[in-house]
Amino acid sequence: MRWLGFSGALLLTVATLLNAAATPRWLTTVPAVVLAAAVAGMGTVVLAWVLLGRLVVTGGDAAPGPRALKWTVLLWAGPLLAAPPLFSRDVESYLAQGAIAARGLDPYVLGPRQGLGPADELTRNMSGYWLDTPSPYGPLFTAVQRLIAQVTGEQQLTGLLLYRLVALVGVALVLWAVPRLAARAGVPANAALWLGVANPLLLWHFVAGVHNDALMLGLMLAGTVLALSAVDERVQWWRLSAGVLLIALAADVKLPAVVALAVVGTALARRLGGTLWHLALTGTAMLASVAVVSAVVSLATGLGFGWLTTLGTSGQVNSWMAPTNWFGFLTGGIGSLFGLRITQTMIGVGQLVGYALIACGAVVVVHRQLRGSLGELPALGLLLAVVVAFGPAVQPWYLLWAAVPLATCLPAGRARTTLAALVALFAVLLPPLGGNFSGKVGQLVAGYLGGALVVAALAFLARRGAPERTHTASARR
């Protein structure tokens, strides 16, 4: 399975490199073929991951251990390091926002078109969704963006490589934290690593996609490891402080990481006595901690507090994956039949309902954790799942916010299988070359069908070979 997944990652990388090198003349004949190859590579990695999961679940001598799974992650990620950014163009926004900050302008006030000008190469390369929107990221990540822009200047390729390095730091932190959190929850480390780190969704969007969610998640999980281990018996205040600091820094990359402080604060409240008074005390302390850390980062970097006004920027694009937006799309579509333009208004109503559901869900989860009917890691995963499901914007990689913590605590059974199925589905939801096939539905369909046929053939061959391998293994025993 290890080399099957490597072959898929290599095929995906080669296909995307061919697409990046394509000339306009090629675009009339090649894209469907290249897309089919890319989809086949994606599907091959997903297939290898599923087959690997069967070995992990069944156990026995053939099951890979934690060390083997870590090497598998590195092997599958290797080819993707040579691929151009896949599945989204967010990294181009990172480059543009960093350039704005490096020029002494405020990325929390100016969008790339205003800050850099429409003729700038960074502006021309960007997705049109974010040309006129300010940065939605916290001060820590904006400081990283500014530093990369100052170091690389006009060298976009070098800037891309540095952003990929930042993402890999996040992945390394996730790889460090997951086995430790799994040990805490009594889940086998190899099962947690398979579902939480070796999954194709993480490879696509953290390694190949270069999303800053990797750094956010890595800092958050590392901080959670330290903070929760500090309240096991006697409270180790220095370790707790270090964990809270890392989580607060994660929130200064992207705000959703702050929910980990709710879990840590509730765990500390249980250790101190478990009353609502203790919860109020520890909750206040957690809020004060993240406020102090954010203030220090904002002032030390000279970026100020403008980021507080742009936290909702990502919700300005109507995400079709966000359930809270479906109400607006539905009612708006009905209204358009009668000449009414109410889509945006109804989307706003749906998002308000979503925020209320997030608040209610958080109260329920924290209350159950405080009473001891819900563990710390399930609470973290559920809180993040609620934030994703009812937030104003949903992207495939957002699933990782909840999936990785849940991978560390879900026992074998229906819940783990359901999560694995969601990961596999979201891993093939977006075409890696989708940005180059806008308005060409026929090519998309042809590419996906071609890729699916290749993967189906590989799955058939793997299924035929399974009984023979099982018989051979039994004979050896």
* pLDDT of amino acid 445: 75
pLDDT band at 24 (very low <50, low <70, confident <90, very high): very low
d(CA 160, CA 314): 22
d(CA 19, CA 291): 45
* pLDDT of amino acid 248: 97
154 or 75: whose pLDDT is higher?
75
* pLDDT of amino acid 472: 42
17 or 459: whose pLDDT is higher?
17
Neighbours of 210 (CB within 10 A): 26
Residue that has been written with the tokens 């822009």 in this structure: 149
pLDDT tens digits, one per residue of 218-248 = 999 999 999 999 998 788 999 999 999 999 9
Low-confidence winner among 20-34, 240-254, 353-367, 381-395 (lowest mean pLDDT): 20-34
Contacts 24+ apart (CB under 8 A), 435-443: 435/89, 435/127, 436/19, 436/27, 436/31, 437/31, 437/35, 440/31, 442/32, 443/31, 443/32, 443/35
* pLDDT of amino acid 145: 96
Residue that has been written with the tokens 């870590």 in this structure: 70
d(CA 19, CA 11): 12
* pLDDT of amino acid 327: 84
The dihedral sign for the CA sequence 459, 460, 465, 470: positive
| Phi-psi group of 374: left, alpha or beta (phi > 0 → left; psi -120 to 50 → alpha; rest → beta) | beta
* pLDDT of amino acid 439: 54
Burial state string for 232-258 with b = 16 or more CB within 10 A and e = fewer than 16:
eeeebeebbebbbbbbbbbbbbbbbbb
pLDDT band at 465 (very low <50, low <70, confident <90, very high): low
173 or 232: whose pLDDT is higher?
173
* pLDDT of amino acid 303: 93
Contact 376, 263 (CB under 8 A): yes
Length of the chain: 477
* pLDDT of amino acid 474: 38
d(CA 434, CA 440): 10
Residue 417, pLDDT above cutoff 60: yes
Mean pLDDT, to the nearest integer, of 375-386?
Answer: 96
pLDDT band at 450 (very low <50, low <70, confident <90, very high): confident
457 or 22: whose pLDDT is higher?
457
82 or 449: whose pLDDT is higher?
82
Neighbours of 412 (CB within 10 A): 14
d(CA 94, CA 148): 10
Low-confidence winner among 159-173, 370-384, 386-400, 437-451 (lowest mean pLDDT): 437-451
Low-confidence winner among 15-29, 318-332, 448-462 (lowest mean pLDDT): 15-29
Low-confidence winner among 30-39, 87-96, 243-252 (lowest mean pLDDT): 30-39
Mean pLDDT, to the nearest integer, of 319-346?
Answer: 85
127 or 340: whose pLDDT is higher?
340
Contact 196, 179 (CB under 8 A): no
Contact 35, 451 (CB under 8 A): yes
Residue 28, pLDDT above cutoff 60: no
The fraction of the chain above a pLDDT of 90, given in percent, is: 59
Residue that has been written with the tokens 């406020």 in this structure: 291
pLDDT band at 477 (very low <50, low <70, confident <90, very high): very low
Residue 106, pLDDT above cutoff 90: yes
Residue that has been written with the tokens 């945006």 in this structure: 344
Burial state string for 182-203 with b = 16 or more CB within 10 A and e = fewer than 16:
bebbebbbbbbbbbbbbbbbbb
The mean of the pLDDT values for the chain is 88
* pLDDT of amino acid 289: 96
Low-confidence winner among 118-122, 173-177, 431-435 (lowest mean pLDDT): 431-435
Secondary structure, 3-state, the chain? CHHHHHHHHHHHHHHHHHHHHCCCCHHHCCHHHHHHHHHHHHHHHHHHHHHHHHHHHHCCCCCCCHHHHHHHHHHHHHHHCCCCCCCCCHHHHHHHHHHHHHCCCCCCCCCHHHHHCCCCHHHHHCCHHHCCCCCCCCHHHHHHHHHHHHHHCCCHHHHHHHHHHHHHHHHHHHHHHHHHHHHHHCCCHHHHHHHHCCCHHHHHHHHHCCCCHHHHHHHHHHHHHHHHHCCCCCCCHHHHHHHHHHHHHHHCCCHHHHHHHHHHHHHHHHHHCCCHHHHHHHHHHHHHHHHHHHHHHHHHCCCCCHHHHCCCHHHHCCCCCCHHHHHHHHHHHHHHCCCCCCHHHHHHHHHHHHHHHHHHHHHHHHHHHHHCCCCHHHHHHHHHHHHHHHCCCCCHHHHHHHHHHHHCCCCCCHHHHHHHHHHHHHHCCCCCCHHHCCCCHHHHHHHHHHHHHHHHHHHHHHHHHHHHHHHHHHHHC
